[in-house]
Structure 1
Amino acid sequence: MNIKKQPISNSLGQLIFNRNNSNILEIDKEEIISLFKYYGVLLFRGFETNTDIFKQFTSLFSTDFINYAGGAFNRRVINGDETLLSVNDFKSEIKLHGEMYYQQNIPLMLWFFCANPALEDGETTVCDGREFFDKLSSSTKDLFSQKKLKFAVRISKDDWHKKYKTDDLEVLGEMCKNNNTHLKVHEDQSIQLEYIAPAIIPSRCGNYQVFINSLLPTMQLSPDVLTFDDDSKIPDDVVSELNEIAEIITTEISWQKGDILMVDNTRIMHGRRAFADDLRDIYIRLCSPAFPF
């Protein structure tokens, strides 16, 4: 199937248009894989889609879909499928981040589907972590090369039951072990978690460095959770620098009904602008590529 494409923005991704009322399930898989590896983010627009077609399409390129156990937010399950989740748990802004970078085992690939856009605002934001790294000051690059991020949080018994989708401490312990997360259980069965992660990682699709992590939304929503691995505070001027860079290089995805967004979660950070109405309905799937990556 011939496809029509153009950049999503001046510096990011590719927008794949429907041509001649084509079936998205008959798209040239090898061309899409090649574009994905090069650009890191693809937006499919103008195709006939629905929730079932979205699931079929994502399964053409992906495997190992996960259910978001251990995730930071409460996500509504769509149509009883725990691998198909709403991202509308609240309406405020979410700053740029890599998905689930507060644990070791991350989904390598993300898919978003616009079941319905907001009346206004609510754009999904994306940026290239490679470009983000290039724009960091030398001193900030040096800082993040010397120190890692430490996420430390206490969670009540009821909350970790919901977060990890289990009430079994042995199961929780195994999950934490597999994620290289230190677990401490208190007498009231609340838990303390600690996870240490780099802020900068090497790319999987090229010889370059990528700034991708969960620093900005954590500092936005739960700043007490995050320090450096030596327990020192992340300087305010560094956080300001990161927020300034984020705004400079952010691309906004203004959703249209039926849009599908394909994201490399080892390179592309994403977030969201605030919105006010109840119409916005965006779904996500978390997975791994079903091709060498």
Structure 2
Amino acid sequence: MNTKIQPISDGIGQEIINLDNVSILELDKQEIISLFRSNGILLFRGFDVDTGIFKEFTNLLSIDFINYAGGAFSRRVINGDETLLSVNDFKSEIKLHGEMYYQQNIPLMLWFFCANPPLEDGETTVCDGRQFFYEISSSTKELFNKKKLKFTVSISKEDWQKKYQTDNLNTLKEMCQKNNTHLTVNDDQSILLEYIFSAIIPSRCGKYQVFINSLLPTKQLSPKILKFEDDSEIPEEVVSELNEIAEKITTEISWRKGDILMIDNTRILHGRRAFADDQRDIYIRLCSPAFSF
């Protein structure tokens, strides 16, 4: 195939660039899978892609597409398809994180599609959770090995019905049970959710330790809901250390129209820079790979 393959940046991923009007649907699937397994993140650039082709291409390599029930943000459904969502509902920075790591059942793989790039800024940020682990000080690693983290969130009846896309308490209870989340229902049917998790996890293949979680954006956007399991605070110097590492090892992806980004959500953290214009339109699909890691 007339494509060029090069690293996205010095430390991360591979970029597959169309040189000769090749259809993205004609790319060698086994080559994509092989590159993805070894890199965890691929950027497809220069292909003629619209929303329909994006869906067709992602369907070739993925299974178990999910909607965003229980998700932390508000997301717009595209063309009536609940597995195709816009990630543009506010414009501020989102720090590096794993997708939906505030619950047990995460999408193992993510696809992003640039329907329209921003006029400026709004880059997607990525880094390798393996590298992040290696950069963390031994004292912070020890702290995270000793203490798990805990999300504690209070949600009104109206808000949880919207967030979980149901008004049935039994359905909510089932969802929480499947996600290993402790649910308390109050008299007014507002709820309290508690979810305990490790900041550092073994990689899917079991050979590596990976720092991947939602700690940094939670501390940025809703700091009070995240503490250690014993209800002690996460020290400010630890959060500062993690933010410094994140900036040091971050790669920025400046979007071009039609770009597709394929991410291993068990290894690669992602986020985004702030932006100001209304042009930026990036879509996401949440799924599992149709192949083994």
Provide the TM-score with structure 1 as the length reference: 0.99
Q: Distance in 1 between matches of 2:145 and 2:41?
A: 26
1:133 aligns with 2:133: yes
Which stretches in structure 1 are left out of the alignment for 5+ residues? Answer: none
2:243 corresponds in structure 1 to: 243
Report the residue type matching 2:194 in the other structure.
E
CA distance in 1, matches of 2:83, 2:124: 20
CA distance in 1, matches of 2:21, 2:205: 32
Counterparts of 1:117-196 in structure 2, within 5 Å, are 117-196=117-196
Letter in 2 for 1:95: K
The one-letter amino acid paired with 2:215 is L
Q: Which residue of 2 aligns with 1:279?
A: 279
Tell me how far apart the structure 2 counterparts of residues 268 and 276 of structure 1 sit (CA, whole Å). 26
Structure 1 counterpart of 2:23: 23
Aligned length: 293
Structure 1 residue 206 displacement after superposition:
5.7
The yes-or-no answer on 1:233 pairing with 2:233 is yes
Contact 2:15 2:44 in 1 (8 A): yes
Cα drift, residue 92 of structure 1: 0.2
| Separation in structure 1 between the aligned mates of residue 37 and residue 148 of structure 2, nearest angstrom | 27
What is the aligned partner in structure 2 of residue 218 from structure 1? 218
Alignment of 1:38 onto 2:58: no
In the TM superposition, what whole-angstrom CA distance separates every residue of 1:102-126 from its partner, at most 9, and x where no partner exists? 0000000000000001100000000
Is contact 1:37–1:205 with CA below 8 Å preserved after alignment?
Answer: no
SS of residue matched to 2:279: coil
The answer to whether the 8 Å contact 2:2/2:20 transfers is no
Q: C-alpha separation between the residues in 1 aligned to 2:15 and 2:97?
A: 21
| Whole-Å separation in 2 of the counterparts to 1:206 and 1:21 | 39
Q: Contact 1:110 / 1:286 at 8 angstroms: preserved in 2?
A: yes
- Normalised by the size of structure 2, how large is the TM-score? 0.99
Identity of aligned residues (%): 77
Q: Secondary structure at the match of 2:257?
A: coil
Which segment drifts farther, 205-214 or 69-78?
A: 205-214
Q: CA deviation at 1:3?
A: 3.0
Instruction: Name the residue aligned to 1:109.
Output: 109
| Cα distance in 2, alignment partners of residues 55 and 171 from structure 1 | 29
1-side partners of 2:36 and 2:155: how far apart? Answer: 37
Rounded Cα–Cα distance in structure 1 between residues aligned with 2:117 and 2:19: 23
After superposition, the C-alpha distances for 1:94-150 in whole angstroms (9 at most, x for unaligned) are 000000000000000000000001100000000000000000000001011111110
Which residue of the partner structure matches residue 5 of structure 2?
5
Deviation at 1:292, TM superposition (A): 1.1
- Return the offset for 1:221: 0.4
Unaligned residue ranges in structure 2 (runs of 5+):
none
Distance in structure 1 (CA, Å) of the matches to 2:144 and 2:86: 33
Q: Within 2, Cα distance between the matches of 1:261 and 1:210?
A: 21
Give the conservation status (yes or no) of the 8 Å contact 1:108–1:287: yes
> What do the CA deviations read for 1:129-188 (whole angstroms, capped 9, x no partner)?
000000000000101111111000000001000100000000000000000000000011
Question: Contact 1:48 / 1:258 at 8 angstroms: preserved in 2?
Answer: yes
| CA displacement at 1:2 relative to structure 2 | 4.7
Structure 1 residues 196-205 or 277-286, which shifts more? 196-205
Please name the residue that 1:257 is paired with.
257
Query: Which whole-Å CA distance do the structure 2 matches of 1:242 and 1:48 have between them?
Result: 38
